[in-house]
Amino acid sequence: MTITLDAARQFGKRYVGALNTGPDALAELLAPDAEVGTDDAPGGGLEALLAGTPPGRAWFRGASLDGEAMLARVRVLEPAGAREQVHRITLDGGGRIATLRSRV
């Protein structure tokens, strides 16, 4: 599914809200056969993603486009400060996440 920059920004806000809420809210955004992971654990699923981006500690920092994918910039708050991440997301025809990979 092709996404516009405005739609990427709106979806990015919704996505980070789901990240902050927890695994059930995030799972609602996923297509049934979604591929989820991190650069360190490509097939690690939601567990790997949430280990690097714990619920309640993410801020949405903006979105951009990379071909068919959107790149959501996420700031993760940690006790010693904050770190930036990029989450690469592609959507299926129904507007649900088909692939999701974070660079943690």
The full set of domain ranges for the chain reads: 5-103
Q: What is the pLDDT of residue 103?
A: 86
Fold for 5-103, please state it.
Nuclear Transport Factor 2; Chain: A, (3.10.450)
Q: Which residues fall within 8 angstroms of residue 79, CB to CB, at 6 or more apart?
A: none
Tell me the pLDDT tens digit for each residue of 38-73.
Answer: 988 878 889 999 999 999 999 999 999 999 999 999
Report the predicted TM-score, pTM, of the whole model to 2 decimal places. Answer: 0.92
Beta bridge mates, 12: none
Record the tokens describing residue 68, joined without a space.
């068919």
pLDDT of the residue at 15: 98
Distance CA 89, CA 102 (A): 9
Are 12 and 69 in contact, with CB atoms under 8 Å apart? Answer: no
Side-chain half-sphere exposure of 14, counting CA atoms within 13 A: 14
